[in-house]
Amino acid sequence: MIANTNSALARRISTTLSRNTLRLRVFSVLLSLAAMLAVFALTTTNFLTLQNLKVIAFNASLLTMVACGESIVVITRNLDVSVGSIIGFSGFITAMFAAAHPHAGPLIIVVAVGIGFVLGLVNGTIVAYGRVPSIVATLGTLSIFRGFTYIVGKGVELPSSYLPRWMTNGAEATVLGVPFVVLVALLVVLAMAFISRRFPIMRRVYAVGSNPGAAVFYGLRANRVVLFAYAACGALVGFAAFFYISRVGTISVILGHDWELMALASVVLGGVATTGGSGSIIGVLFGALMLSTIDNGLVLAHAQEYWRMFIQGFAIVGAIALDAGIERRIMAIFRNQRV
């Protein structure tokens, strides 16, 4: 009798586990974020102030948008290391456009998103139809996009005073004390989370990443799905670039330099499997928050600036190693079940 209830309990636990694997992963990210907040709150004096938390949220908001785009690509089992250059390209050209046409209004946003979208299409075409390994392809476009920005910019810098007033004001604006940009980022996350669950195309993104070989048998055109992922990523990054240029004091050609690494770190910390097929947008949000918290906390803890990159890289490798372990277990269960 006892054995019976035990096995019933065991079954219920295993059912819960197998239904909620992904939620558990996100939960673990949330837990480590909380732990990190606790550590910084205890070790530094002014970490847990409203002002500082606002700074963290503000910093995390742009990163979140970029990481959301990156995550779509990573879920298809590919990488996009050119997102930093897309920010630079889209941001700089958009700034030039805005400076030349100060009354263009919302068209400026369309320009930013459009440029990102086109650059994403370029990446996607090379990867999906050129059959170039994604890391190589986007490493190439990283250089091409940045190089083009240099050529166009000729080393010139644009002060943000050239931009329409509504853009720079918008960057500073708050709604009920919450920075406007933070609200936008939250909206993007919520929309993406919804889309990733309910839109057929996003389900295909997950399927292709999970098992590209099986996708053929399902009649899914993996090429198109990968192209879509890159284009969507590019569009999101372009959108983020619009907010980026509204915020920085000087728009230079090195805008967004190094962001590919931060975006990738957020995605990985957020529990998106680099082996594809698995990951949630909410996790990515927590990943971006975590990275911003580390950055901010290190400054407050008077750690030297030199440590930042070291710790960021450490977090990426650690998270990937952890996920690889989890993935191996999943695949072991899935494949070698000849028991």
Partner 1 sequence: MTAEAERLSIRSVSKSFGPVRAVRNVSFSIEACTIHALVGENGAGKSTLVKMITGMLPPDSGEILLDGRVCKFFTPLDARRSGITAVYQDPKLFPHLDVSENIFMGFQPRNMFGLVTKRRMYTETERMLGELGVEIDPRALLAGRSVAEIQFVEIIRAMCADLRLLILDEPTASLTPAEADRLFAVANSVKQRGVSVLFISHRLDEVRRIADQVTVMRDGECIVTAPAADMTEADMVRHMVGRELTSFFVRRESRAAGAVKFEVKNLSLPGMFENVSMSVRAGEIVGLAGLVGAGRTEIAESIFGIRPPKSGTVVIGGVELKPSSPRQMLRKGVAYIPENRDDNGLIVELSIACNICLAVLDRLGPWGFIGRSSESRFAKPFADDFEIKTPSLDALAGSLSGGNRQKVVLAKWLGSEPKVFILDEPTHGIDVGTKSQVHQRVSKLAEAGYPVVLISSDLPEILAMSDRILVVASGRIVAEFSRAEATQEKVMMAASRSPLLVGAGEERP
- Decide whether 217 or 310 has the Cβ nearer to partner 1: 217
Nearer to partner 1, 37 or 320 (CB): 320
In angstroms, give the least distance from the CB of 236 to partner 1: 20
| Shortest Cβ 207–partner 1 spacing (Å) | 5
Minimum gap (Å) between residue 136 Cβ and partner 1: 20
Residue 107 vs 216, nearer CB to partner 1: 216
Q: Which residues bind partner 1 (CB under 8 A)?
A: 15, 18-19, 21-22, 197-200, 203-204, 206-207, 209-211, 213-214, 216-220, 273, 276-278, 330-331, 333-339
Confirm if 279 and 39 have CB atoms less than 8 A apart. no
Q: How far is the CB of 86 from partner 1 (least distance, A)?
A: 27
Q: How far is the CB of 317 from partner 1 (least distance, A)?
A: 23
Nearer to partner 1, 151 or 339 (CB): 339
- Residue (9 or 34) nearer to partner 1, CB: 9
Q: How far is the CB of 334 from partner 1 (least distance, A)?
A: 4
Taking the least distance from each CB to partner 1, the nearer of 121 and 330 is 330
173 C-beta neighbours (distance < 10 Å), count = 13
Nearer to partner 1 by C-beta: 131 or 198?
A: 198
Return the closest-CA partner of residue 66 out of 258, 206, 204, 213: 258
What is the nearest approach in angstroms of partner 1 to the Cβ of residue 78?
15
